[in-house]
Structure 1
Amino acid sequence: MSKNKMLSRALFAVLIGAATFGAQAAEKPGFYLGAGVGQSFVDETGYDDEDTAFSAFGGYQFNQWFGLEAGYADLGELEPGAAGTSLEASSAYLTAVGTLPFTDRFSGYAKAGFQRWDLDTSIPGLAGTGDDSGTDPTYGLGLQYRFTDAFALRGEYSRFEIEDVDVDLAQLQARFDF
């Protein structure tokens, strides 16, 4: 049997098993906490790098369509394309989260809000970045699969605007509901 066929069958078996695991698991009102790991990317203003990034978040789900989420993202260290200073960036954020349920377990979501970013040094070559912190918009899209009433796995792609530089973050997150 070819590797592609075996991989396809294994993935199908995992999805079928996940779909039958646990009770009905639609979004319910309540608090949640989570953590994520992924990759941050920047390709602007002399910076073309990526690094491992981590996040922690918490929120309140008001109903199956709307929630508020606050979190912290360590965006890692980003090296310049040419000689220059590396940047270590982090962000504390507050976002509104709109959820679109596709099934009782699988949903998509979009989030938007504001963040307070912090850099260990200013961005060279950009006017207005003498300060190493500021407030700018953040937004993202994601998919979520709920395994049980208390646990969901999310894949998310977010953008953190830092002055005139956009830092993107792709990550896998675990969410625990209370």
Structure 2
Amino acid sequence: MVKLKSLSVGLLLSLSTSASIASPYVGPVYDTYGAPANDLYVTPVSNSYAAPRSAPRVSQDRGGYAGFGFGSSELTSVDGDERFEDTNIRAHLGYQLNRYFAVEAGVSVLPMDDLLGDVADFTGVDVAVLAKLPITSRMSAYAKVGYWDWDISVPYRSQYYDVYVGDTDMIYGIGVDYQVSSRLTLRLDATRYEIGDTEIDTVNGSLSYSF
């Protein structure tokens, strides 16, 4: 009986030793810094997250633009008793400083056939500052003020010289623009061109291209 017990104890010890050899320790193994080093634990390399780099965004609130417009014009006589109506053609070139301000130059041709016949037109070059008020992400209202240099050259067929009249006066107006796409903008404005003691009022629709 004693031999049987000794044999049983020896067998159990042998099985325990075999099991410990066949089944290694699977718990966390700590390195010299006290952090888990085996596969059961994930040690983060860094707590910071590096976002992927993207190309810098180009602001649409700055840059040059150019456009062309067409509309109607009305000239009031000095005494205010007469009004002469005709068309208005204008090309413009500008630069958007930011979302709220732009500078712009334009060339205008304002025919006045009722007043001058078909032999002469008002022509002028203008420079203005535009102050804008965004209404939506695509639409803005604006006011503008500036100067224009205008002239009228009337040839007299019966003589060998022309009659030239010109001066520099103020312009001012209001309008709205609508951004159709990242490049195209529609505009509708009303502008008053002063001519000495009288003025020409215009309503103009135009299309601008940004570059």
Q: Fold-level match, TM-score > 0.5? A: yes
Paired residue type of 1:61: Q
1:60 counterpart residue number: 95
Matched ranges for 1:1-178 at <5 A: 28-45=61-78, 47-80=82-115, 85-86=116-117, 88-121=121-154, 132-178=165-211
| CA distance in structure 2 between the partners assigned to 1:53 and 1:160 by the alignment | 12
1:131, CA displacement in angstroms?
5.7
Asked if structure 2 preserves the Cα contact closer than 8 Å seen for 1:47 and 1:78, the reply is: no
Larger Rg: 2
* Letter of the structure 2 residue corresponding to residue 75 of structure 1: L
Note the alpha carbon deviations across 1:98-144, whole angstroms, 9 max, x for none: 111001001101110111011124xxxxxxxx960110100111011
The count of aligned residue pairs is 141
Deviations 1:60-111 (A, max 9, x none): 001000010000110112424xxxx546211100000111100100110111
For 1:56 and 1:33, locate their aligned partners in 2 and report how far apart those are by CA, in whole Å.
8
- Give structure 1 stretches of 5+ with no counterpart: 1-25, 122-129
Q: Distance in 1 between matches of 2:152 and 2:137?
A: 41
Letter in 1 for 2:153: D
What is the aligned partner in structure 2 of residue 8 from structure 1?
none
Percent identity between the aligned chains?
31
Instruction: Provide the aligned C-alpha RMSD in A.
Output: 1.8
Contact residue 66 and residue 98 of structure 1 kept, 8 A: yes
Could you tell me whether the CA contact under 8 Å between 1:52 and 1:75 is conserved in 2?
yes
Any runs of at least 4 consecutive aligned residues in structure 1 with deviations exceeding 2 A, and if so which? none
Matching residue's letter, 2:170: P
Unpaired runs of 5+ residues, structure 2, are 1-58, 155-162
Structure 1 distance, partners of 2:178, 2:86, is 26
AA in 2 matched with 1:89 = F
| Higher RCO by CA contacts (8 Å cutoff, separation 6 or greater) | 1
Structure with more of its chain in strand, by fraction = 1
Mapped partners of 1:98, 1:27: distance in 2: 17
What is the distance in 2 between the residues matched to 1:75 and 1:32? 23
TM-score (norm 2): 0.63
Determine if contact 1:89/1:117 at 8 Å carries over to the other structure.
yes
SS at match of 2:127: strand
Q: 1:132 & 1:35 partners in 2: Cα distance?
A: 26
Query: Residue 43 of structure 1: CA displacement?
Result: 2.2
Distance 2:61 2:69 in 1: 22
Paired with 1:141 and 1:32, the residues of 2 have a C-alpha distance of: 19
